[in-house]
Chains A and B, each alone.
Chain A
Amino acid sequence: MIPSLDLVLLFLIVAIAIAAITVRDLLSAIMLLCAYSFLMAMVWVEMHSVDVAFTEAAVGAGASTAFLIAALSRTVRWEKK
């Protein structure tokens, strides 16, 4: 574990998570969730759990994003306030 890299990645993850739930455009929120998953996979590689990182990069960033965009194409894109 490299503490400085770990701290930077975790700070970025918290920032992206806050951005993903505040942004009004739902497509942007889904893309931010994809970036969140990739950063989380990097944190897990850095914590020596390569298996989980591999699964997260394939499932969390690939399949989940595809499912969310597919659901968005059947509903509305903009969040109302």
Chain B
Amino acid sequence: MMEWLIEEILAKYNYWVSIILMLIGFYAMIAKGNLIKKVIGLSIFQTAIFLFYISLGDIVGGTEPIVIEGYKGIYVNPLPHVLILTAIVVAVATLAVALALVINMYEEYGTIEEEEIIEKERELGV
């Protein structure tokens, strides 16, 4: 029982940290009222998913996936790296679009707090 616990639960701590980070980002996206805080939560959420993918590709005792002449050992899996490289590019584009929306909302309503924006919309009768 104890061995099973150590091998299956504790030795895979990367995945647990990834889940914790995902929940931290999700909490910030839902519960925080400030729009910039929501964007920061979105960034943390995305990075947690990157951590999950990179942990999937890692091998104990492996080396970087760059070909070395005469090397007989194992390399780590390079496929998740390529997927995450694309995802980082998408992440920075998402961030730029989100910030542009935040700036436009500030110029429209004069605040970046979610509750005040909802109050103003109610006053306007939307």
Contacts and interface: CB of A to CB of B under 8 A. Distances in A.
Interface string B61-99: 011110000000000100011001100110110011001
A36 B24 contact: no
A35 to B, nearest CB: 12
Q: Is chain A's interface secondary structure helix, strand, loop, or mixed overall?
A: helix
Q: Which residue, A7, A40, A71, A74, has most C-beta atoms of chain B within 10 A?
A: A71
Interface in A1-60: 1, 6-7, 10, 13-14, 17-18, 20-21, 26, 29-30, 33, 36-37, 40, 43-44, 47-52, 55-56, 59-60
Nearest to A50: B64
B51 A40 contact: yes
B117 interface: no
8 contacts: A1-B58, A13-B21, A17-B44, A49-B57, A52-B50, A52-B81, A64-B43, A75-B112
Given A59-B91, A76-B106, 15 more contacts: A6-B14, A7-B13, A17-B25, A20-B40, A21-B24, A21-B44, A26-B34, A30-B36, A36-B47, A47-B76, A49-B64, A51-B85, A60-B91, A71-B103, A76-B112
